[in-house]
A and B are shown apart, each in its own frame.
Chain A
Amino acid sequence: MKRTNVVTSTLNSLSRALSRALISEQTARRSGVMQSLDPRVRVLGTFLLVIVIVLVHKIAVLLAVFTGAVVLALASAVTIRTLALRVWFVVLAFTGVIALPALFLTPGEPLSSVPSITPQGLHAAVMLIARVETAVTLTTILVLCTPWVEILKALRSLCVPREVVMMLAMAYRYIFLLAETATQMFESRESRRLGVLPGSEQRRVVAQTAGVLMSKSLDLSQEVFLAMQSRGYRGDVFTVADSRLRPRDYLAILAVAIIAALALWLGR
């Protein structure tokens, strides 16, 4: 029997999510340009470049930043295939839908080749897609090349409130456990299922499982908090990581600052 019901597709999605996370961890452990920098520099640099991307008004400048991002990805052991599958196609599909009306609705002189499209509309649509593609490419490179905990530490040292950072940390850690639990619950249901369940019943199964998972996750979060308290947690997380920046980190900050300034000046 071909297994395409709601339960099975949920199972497949859970397993895909887990394997994607594993790929990210492996990339973060490889050696590369991004991996060699201090996480704070990576987070700050990415944040700065994303702001620049939002402020730039020229496609040529955006394309230059995008090309730089691709070079950075290749120098950091992130493949074109990974970027294409994770970012470019997905962003194109979603942003394309949003950008499409701009082609026809933006006022201006119609193009001679395609009369219903205006050059202003075309520019707006391409700018939107290029901005989103470049920004998401940069943030994906950051996420793929940096262990999640390092990103969280960097956020904390960049003054993001500790409650927000702790929530993100817990969410990431326990999403795997809950995904595993969900997989086991679905598998257990599947192992006891006879015949094909009607669609409404399948949706009910998924909804019930989500409810049970929610309740389990609340219990678990309570336990985790107690376990942290038991080992001395008092509201702020202390770590043993080296907090000193190295010369190459300062060079990277300088390089990002120059690129950002140039892009803003040329793309104004």
Chain B
Amino acid sequence: MSALFECRDVHFEYDHVPALCGLSLEIAAGESVALVGANGSGKSTLLRLLDGLGFASRGTVSFCGDALTQDRLQADDFALAFRRRVGLVFQNPDAQLFNPTVFDEVAFGPAQLRWPKQEILQAVEQTLQLMCIEHLRDRPPYRLSGGEKKRVALASVIVLDPEVVLLDEPTSTLDPRSQSGLIDLLQNWKSASKTIIATTHQLEILDDLADRLIVLEEGKVAASGATRDVLNDFDLLLRANLVHAHRHSHGSVTHSHPHRHSHADHEHEH
């Protein structure tokens, strides 16, 4: 598979505080990749750079061979084509829901990309149905529950039917039923050969979510590999703060070992 995204020695800082420190990786078209790592490891920052919302202070981020630079994204032709192909669902749905009604929110993206009116109306209706939010269409987004907001935020990106979907903590604030609904949706996208890049802290959904896992640590790639292989590397997960050492007693013997949750089971490594 050819590289869709390519990051080479990417550095990025927030007010002189480093967030990415020489990160390099490649993501191929049609791959489903999960970015995992402790808080502050650079997952959300990387997603923003991949979406052309921030620019590396050093190194390059490329999409289909074109470097994502401020100059390039200022050109309407490139920017509109890029936005049509890549969509980002933000972690905080309140940042993404700025329109007066759910309908306007879902229609915002297609309207900015200057789709014909009939096409917009049709796409919005289909998306509202797909996400089971038709009943919310005239509601203002700020009056929705956390889970409803998340569904509307997802709908506002799905409506564009992008080739690449970037998801920042997609399952946060979702109840278990909505969570499994989202996983089903992501699996449908996977089978439709869309590229999915998601960040998450929930190790139990990774098997369903991604074929490849990239572990970030202090702004760099600490490991990358098939999901199951990485999940089986307890030392790596422990180092990356994705599992924790669990101390307990068996009769008079007290010991500690890595501890994680997977598929609602409680796994211990003795």
Q: Which A residues are within 8 Å of any B CB, using their own CB?
A: 25, 29, 147-149, 169-170, 173-174, 176-177, 180, 220, 223-224, 226-234, 237-240
CB distance from B69 to the nearest CB of A (A): 15
Q: Which B residues are within 8 Å of any A CB, using their own CB?
A: 48, 51, 53, 76, 79-80, 83-84, 87-88, 90, 92, 94-96, 98-101, 104, 107-109, 111-114, 117, 120-121, 138, 140, 142, 156-157, 160
- Measured in the bound complex, the distance between the Cα atoms of B29 and A106 in whole Å is 80
Chain A residues within an 8 Å CB radius of B113: 232
Determine if B90 and A231 form an interchain contact, defined as CB atoms under 8 angstroms apart.
no
Task: Tell which of B98, B109, B117, B160 has the most Cβ of chain A within 10 Å.
Answer: B98
Determine if B98 and A231 form an interchain contact, defined as CB atoms under 8 angstroms apart.
no
- Measured in the bound complex, the distance between the Cα atoms of B114 and A148 in whole Å is 23
- Measured in the bound complex, the distance between the Cα atoms of B112 and A224 in whole Å is 15
Determine if B112 and A233 form an interchain contact, defined as CB atoms under 8 angstroms apart.
yes
Question: Given contacts A149-B99, A224-B95, A238-B112, are A231 and B142 in contact (CB under 8 A)?
Answer: no
Q: Which of A170, A173, A223 contacts B142 (CB 8 A)?
A: A173
Q: How many A-B residue pairs have CB under 8 A?
A: 78
Determine if A149 and B104 form an interchain contact, defined as CB atoms under 8 angstroms apart.
yes
A-B contact pairs, 30 of them (CB 8 A): A148-B100, A149-B99, A149-B101, A149-B104, A173-B98, A173-B99, A173-B100, A177-B94, A177-B142, A223-B90, A223-B92, A223-B95, A224-B98, A226-B90, A226-B95, A230-B51, A230-B83, A230-B87, A231-B108, A231-B109, A231-B160, A232-B80, A232-B112, A232-B113, A234-B76, A234-B112, A238-B111, A239-B107, A239-B111, A240-B117
Q: From A152, which residue of chain B is reached at the shortest CB distance?
A: B100
Known A170-B98, A177-B94, A237-B112; further 17 A-B contacts with Cβ < 8 A: A149-B104, A169-B98, A173-B99, A224-B98, A226-B95, A227-B88, A227-B95, A227-B96, A227-B98, A229-B53, A231-B87, A231-B160, A232-B83, A232-B109, A238-B114, A239-B107, A240-B120
- Measured in the bound complex, the distance between the Cα atoms of B51 and A257 in whole Å is 51
Q: Is the interface of A mostly helix, strand, loop or mixed?
A: helix
Determine if A239 and B98 form an interchain contact, defined as CB atoms under 8 angstroms apart.
no
- Measured in the bound complex, the distance between the Cα atoms of B96 and A220 in whole Å is 10
Determine if A228 and B53 form an interchain contact, defined as CB atoms under 8 angstroms apart.
no
Determine if A230 and B98 form an interchain contact, defined as CB atoms under 8 angstroms apart.
no
- Measured in the bound complex, the distance between the Cα atoms of B120 and A116 in whole Å is 68
- Measured in the bound complex, the distance between the Cα atoms of B79 and A141 in whole Å is 41
Chain B residues within an 8 Å CB radius of A226: 48, 53, 90, 95
- Measured in the bound complex, the distance between the Cα atoms of B176 and A23 in whole Å is 34
Task: Tell which of B51, B99, B100 has the most Cβ of chain A within 10 Å.
Answer: B100
- Measured in the bound complex, the distance between the Cα atoms of B109 and A226 in whole Å is 13
- Measured in the bound complex, the distance between the Cα atoms of B119 and A238 in whole Å is 14
Chain B residues within an 8 Å CB radius of A180: 142
Chain A residues within an 8 Å CB radius of B95: 220, 223-224, 226-227
Question: Given contacts A232-B109, A232-B113, A240-B117, are A147 and B90 in contact (CB under 8 A)?
Answer: no
Chain B residues within an 8 Å CB radius of A240: 107, 111, 117, 120-121
Determine if B98 and A149 form an interchain contact, defined as CB atoms under 8 angstroms apart.
no
Determine if A230 and B142 form an interchain contact, defined as CB atoms under 8 angstroms apart.
no
- Measured in the bound complex, the distance between the Cα atoms of B95 and A174 in whole Å is 9
Question: Given contacts A173-B98, A173-B142, are A227 and B90 in contact (CB under 8 A)?
Answer: yes
- Measured in the bound complex, the distance between the Cα atoms of B117 and A233 in whole Å is 17
Task: Tell which of A234, A238, A240 has the most Cβ of chain B within 10 Å.
Answer: A240
Determine if B112 and A231 form an interchain contact, defined as CB atoms under 8 angstroms apart.
yes
